[in-house]
Structures are given as structure tokens and as C-alpha cells.
Chain A
Amino acid sequence: MTFLAVEGLTVRIRRGPWLLRGVSLAVAAGEARGLVGESGAGKSMIGKAILGILPRAAEVVSGRILLDGTDLLRLSDRDRRARIGRLCALIPQDPLTALNPARRIGPQITDRLTDILGWDRARAQARAAELLAEVQIADPPRVLKSYPHELSGGMRQRVLIAAAFAAEPKLIVADEPTTALDVTVQREVLRLIAGMQARHGTALLFVTHDLGVVSKVCRRLSVLYAGKVVEDTDVRAFFRTPGHPYSAALLAATPKYTDPDSSLRPVPSAVIDAVRAEVAAWDAAHG
């Protein structure tokens, strides 16, 4: 059952360059899908478009974003917001800036439950404490009363993960959730996200530039280049035999712990040129 289907999504900066060039991708209910690509490929833009938080300068030119069968782009602002708030959640990139420094942790987890979903305060509090325990935070009651500056980066990311799962969303968009963390914390957080995703049966769109991270969390994988999906495949198949030449080059460029002496291999210029030619053809066709 497809839960999220993005079809031919085309986004540009108003009177400026294209950001997404007809992106299509689908996430089945309960599926963990990685979305990889280099910086500027448009990975985060897709996540933002789905969650309705595109920057003001960006405009959707064409395409559909079907969330559980309903096209978000055809809804009024109010209905879209309500639908996204009920069905989706975001695990943001930087835990240091994603929590409001002026508010306590508790309300930042429970506000969606009480103010959007209409839970009573006590039930929401209990739920928040339960979730903090699930993300392995010691002494949840104390943390709920803390301010963000009183917690470490790793703890803040756990809080954000707990907050994302609070309303039992059907889809979570994780936007490079481990990039801002140091390597040891990264591993734990990845394991946590993978475990929570599996336990709660939530669909996950995991945006990252790190193929190694994808292999730990995701089953399916979309490779993005210059605002186009160049490959949509199974993660294991991808690591065995990548389909698209760009994917193969990207994989070859990933440094390996097992072979630390091999020098980094950049993506060959022939591959880049071929993909760029495709992009140029697309741009020419779309004015």
C-alpha cells in the first residue's frame, strides 16, 4: 500500500533556477526509504515540499504529492496544515537549533497532542514521559521540565525523535538527522530511529548524503541528482549492482573502513557530463 506518492514534482525559485525537475517517488506504509544525493541535489527540498515548509521564494510549478491518496497541493493551506500535522512528522537535522530555547521540553513534545489532536494534558504528559523512556532518556520527568540548553546534543536529538513519534504519525521525514552529531552518538541515534520505525510501523523518508547511513536504516533507496530521481531500487541490490552510472560512481566514491588505504575516488567527469546533459535537455524542454 503506497502511503506517500510524489508524482512529477517540479519546484523552482520564483523567476530563478529549477530545484526539483519532475521528481517521482513513492513510500509504502511502514516502509523505510532512503533519499540520497550530493549537496544541492534537492533532497531536503523534497522533504520540505511534502511537509509544506518550502521556503517562500520557492514555488511548485507542477506535480502531485499524494498523502494517503489526497493531493496535498490541491488542499487549502489550513486543510494541508491539519493533514500534515496529523499524519506526518519531521526529525530535523540540527538538534541544537530545532528546539525552542525559551520553552521547556515537555510542551515542545506535547503541544501537537494537546493543541492539534485535542488530548487532555495529563494523557499527553504521560505519553511524552513514555516516549522519552523509549528513546532511552533517563529520568523523563526531569527532562520534561528542562530547557533545551540543559541537555546535550545527543539528548536533544532523542527528544526530537520522541516528539516526532508522539502523535503516531504514518510518515516521518528525517532530514539528515545524524549529520550534526559526532560519530559515536550517530550510531546510537541511527539504531534508535531504525528500531522505533520498525516498532511503530511508521513509513520513513530518510534524507541523507551518506550511503553508509542508508544501509543501516532503509530497505528502499532513491538516488537524486540535480533535482531528478536517477534510480529507485532495493538497498541491498543497490550495494551489489547499482543501476545508474551515477549511482555506481557515487557508491565507488564512498570511502570504506575495510580498505582505508584506497584513495578517495571522485565521480568520473564522463558520468557527471552525461547526467548534466540530461539535466540540460530537461531544462531546455521546460523553458
Chain B
Amino acid sequence: MMFARRLAFRLATTAVTLVGVAVIVFVVIRVVPGNPIAMMLPPGATEADIARLRALYGFDRSIAEQFLIWAGGVLQGDFGTSITARRPVLELVLGRLPATLELATLALCIAVVLGGSLALAGARWRETRTEAAVDVTNGIGLSVPDFLWGLILILLFGVVWPLFPISGRIAPALAREFATNFYLAEAILRLRLDLLGALLAHMLLPALALALPLAAIIAQLLKQSLKETMHLDYVTLARTKGFAEGRVIRAEALPNAVLPTLTLVGVQFTFLIGGTVIIERLFSYEGLGNLAIDAVINRDLPLIQGIVIVFAGLFTLINLGVDMLYAALNPRLRRG
């Protein structure tokens, strides 16, 4: 009951947030310099041509009027038509969204596994050289941003040791095998290990570039909160029961230490999705981020609006998910 009410409340605030985001984006991209009409016409177009096109796309009306027309369409599921691609924005965005979601999810999984393992190792062998090594690793992970990791990985594993493909989501010939745009999920569900291997080879480097900074943050924070938990009485009591240190950390310390880390991972995961914009560009990965950059370069206003709304919706959904997960993992917040 409590849970359902909280969920309903959060969904309501989410709607308010999205309206706010829509207004801001709509106004900002119309106020900043750059004109989509100018991009569409050849040099030497007449004033009359420009005026005709402006009227066609509705840019001759006031911003408020344009917004109401657009918002009315959005409420009916019509996000407008891309100026450059001449196709519905929703179709373009939904076509690209799975690629970005899969990349971000893979990056998150890598970050959690990598960061979690480092944290556990650092806590298990605390105050030894192992912990010092973990700290140094975290320092490196934290001080290099994701796009730089992308360049480093391309250089190392694409150029110096060409082990992985450095461009695209999958070889175009293989792309025809898929019925949906969720390539990774589909390959796993259909147990097509050949496709899965090809996908992962393409996704590993960009996902790693996105994951490394987040892994370092997780490792640092989780290790610290594990170490704080290790001093508590229930951990000591578990040691007297005959449990080995590793088991004491996993069964006693981890369920408590993971809570503060979870909050941060939620916030950082949204940054990671923001990072996909540049990383997808670097690796020519056909996701939403790459589409967003093209949209901005071409001043494709309807497409930019659609992409930003989708990103904003995604972020609020992630925050909602983290909140719910936090409640599920912390028995003191659970109510029967």
C-alpha cells in the first residue's frame, strides 16, 4: 500500500519534471543562434523561399504558440517530423534507443562487477599492498574521463593491438539477422552465441570506456563503507562463529555497506548515459547519442526535442528505480 502510494507520487513528480524539461529545451534551442531553415536551403535562396519554408515548419509563429502545437502533438504520441531525415521523430528515437540502452546497461554491469570486485578485494586485504594497489587503480580510473578512455582504448586495442572492431554496433551483414532493435537481448534470448560474440566484440570497448570511471567510483565508495562496517559488533560476532573473513565481508558487511553506494550509482548511471553521446560518436555506434549530435549539427529542432525528452524520461525512471531498489534492500524502510 505504502509502496503503491510512493510509486504514484513519484510518477506524478516525474510528469512535472518532464514538462519543465520540455519547456526549457524548447525555448533554449530556439533562442540560441543557428537556424534549421538556413541549413536546408542552398546558398542563394530568395527571401520568399525562406519565408515559405519557415511557414511550412511553423517557425513564423511565436515560441509559445509553437510549444502548444508541439506539446499537443506529444500528448497524442506525435513528436513531430525530423527536418533532415523527414521521418517521424518517435520512430527515429525508438529505433536508436535500444542500442544506447544496451550499451549503457553493459557498461553498468561492467562497472558494478569491476568496482564491486575491487572494493571487496580492498576491504578483504585492507591495510596491505593490495588495498594500496586498489587505491591507485581507483585514482587512475577517476582522473581519466570516459571520452579519453575511449581514445586510449581505440589506440590500444584497435590500432596497436587490433583485437577488437572500433566502429559500429555489429557488422552490417549480421544486422539483418535481428527482428528487433534490442540486438543484445535478442541474441541472448535466441541463444545465438555467434551474434552475441560479434555484438560484444563491438560493444566491449565503448562500454569499458563508459564503465571505467564509474567502476572507480563504486570501488572507492564501497570499499570505504565496507571498511567502516567491518568494525561493527555484528561483524565481530560473525567472526567468533567461525566464518572466514571473505564470508564475513560478503554476508555481514556487504548488505549494509551497499546502501550508500547504491544511491550514488543511481546518480552516476545517469551521467554515464550522458557520456554515451560522445562515446557513441567516437566508436561510430548507432545509438541515440550519435543521433543527438547529428541532430544538433543540423539544427533539427523536433529531433533534438524528442531526444532530450527521452533522455530526461530515462533519467527520472532510473532515479525511481534506484529509490525502489533502496527500499527493497533496506529492511528498515520496508513496511509489511
Contacts and interface: CB of A to CB of B under 8 A. Distances in A.
Contacts of B240: 51-53, 84-85, 88-90
Contacts, number: 73
B332 A101 contact: yes
Nearest to A57: B127
A287 to B, nearest CB: 26
B234 A97 contact: yes
B237 A98 contact: yes
B239 A53 contact: yes
A86 B242 CA distance: 7
Contact of B242 (A81, A94, A147): A81
A112 B241 contact: yes
Interface string A245-283: 000000000000000000000000000000000000000
Interface in A81-134: 81-82, 84-86, 88-90, 92-94, 97-104, 108, 111-112, 115-116
Contacts of A102: 255-256, 329-331
A52 B245 CA distance: 12
A246 B127 CA distance: 41
A78 B247 CA distance: 13
A56 interface: yes
Contacts of B255: 100, 102-103
A149 interface: yes
A90 B234 CA distance: 11
Contacts of B233: 92-94, 97-98
Contacts of A104: 331
A56 B235 CA distance: 14
A245 B331 CA distance: 53
Chain B interface size, under 10 / 10 to 19 / 20 to 34 / 35 or more: 20 to 34
Contacts of B247: 115
A147 B333 CA distance: 11
B295 to A, nearest CB: 45
B68 interface: no
Contacts of A89: 240-241
B284 interface: no
Contacts of B244: 78, 81
B256 A101 contact: yes
A56 B241 contact: no
A147 B239 contact: no
A210 to B, nearest CB: 20
Contact of A97 (B232, B243, B252, B331): B232
Nearest to B255: A102
A149 B331 contact: yes
Contact of B243 (A56, A85, A88): A85
A146 B161 CA distance: 56
A100 B331 contact: no
Nearest to A93: B233
Interface string B215-242: 0000000000000000011101111111
A93 B241 CA distance: 16
A242 B329 CA distance: 55
Contacts of B234: 97-101, 108
B189 to A, nearest CB: 33
Interface of B: 127, 232-234, 236-244, 247, 251-252, 255-256, 329-332
The 3 nearest A-B residue pairs measured at CB? A85-B242, A102-B255, A97-B233
